[in-house]
Structure 1
Amino acid sequence: MTSATSPRELAHPTRDEIRLEEVLHALSDPMRLRVVRKLADAGEEVACAHVELPVTKSTQTHHFRVLRESGVIRQAYRGTAKMNDLRRDDLEALFPGLLDAILSAARRSAGATTA
């Protein structure tokens, strides 16, 4: 994992360090999947504060950390905001079609529960 060089830099796994079982674990939680769907729909960096989850702030921080440490998202500070973006290119290179399949299934599932 690339280590942080300052307190404002966050450690992320390199592409070669991303493991399928960690990605699947990260995406198995409904709150983390909601974060990933929000980032995918946005198509650009999104601040943590703009992702609403029905959990405490500390639990939300935990979910973002699991996503970052598994290699699903990249986080970076921009001023005082912690910005998040999907590592779509890395995930697609390692596991072609996986992210799109999971997002598609999650959207179908969400549509079924609201119908």
Structure 2
Amino acid sequence: MRRAHHPETGEITLMGVMAALSDPIRVGLVRVLADGQERGWGELRAPVAKSTLSHHLKVLRDAGLTRTRQEGTRCFVVLRREELQARYPGLLPAVLAAAEDEDVGHQVAVSPSLQESSL
């Protein structure tokens, strides 16, 4: 796997962020990652094929919403909360509140067995 590109905070654009958040699966991924935990890609559960999940994670990374780290053959992802807050103050909390209120992305979750072991 080649090294993933992560836009610098100043390179993150509002249109890129909004486009990335235009899909309910990606909103669900952001909701799951909003707890601040770094998650292995294998921990994330969504009603899509693995290749489609990988595509959604790439869209979020390219837009600057997440940071991906590779360790051997495993990939880990974390929400770039501080960078997003610095670039667009209040945007992420507003998106998360609206997604919660409208139940957008509810079908995305963390694997229960993996979630329990991290407690």
Give TM-score, length-normalised by structure 2: 0.83
User: How far apart are 1:108 and its partner, in Å?
Assistant: 0.9
* Unaligned runs of at least 5 residues, structure 2: 107-119
| Segments of 4+ moved more than 2 angstroms | none
User: How far apart are 1:26 and its partner, in Å?
Assistant: 0.5
CA RMSD of aligned residues (A): 1.6
Give the length in aligned residue pairs: 105
Q: Distance in 1 between matches of 2:71 and 2:30?
A: 20
Q: Distance in 1 between matches of 2:34 and 2:73?
A: 23
1:68 aligned partner: 61
Tell me whether 1:87 sits opposite 2:80 in the alignment: yes
Q: How does 1:32-111 map to 2 (within 5 A)?
A: 32-41=26-35, 43-110=36-103
Query: Secondary structure of 2:78's partner?
Result: strand
Q: Is the Cα contact below 8 Å between 1:23 and 1:71 reproduced in 2?
A: yes
User: How far apart are 1:80 and its partner, in Å?
Assistant: 2.4
User: How far apart are 1:10 and its partner, in Å?
Assistant: 1.0
Amino acid paired to 2:74: A
More helix by share: 1
Q: Which has the higher contact order (CA 8 A, sep 6+)?
A: 2
* Unaligned runs of at least 5 residues, structure 1: 1-6
User: How far apart are 1:9 and its partner, in Å?
Assistant: 2.3
Identity among equivalent pairs (%) = 45
Amino acid paired to 1:106: A
2:6 aligned partner: 12
Tell me whether 1:31 sits opposite 2:25 in the alignment: yes
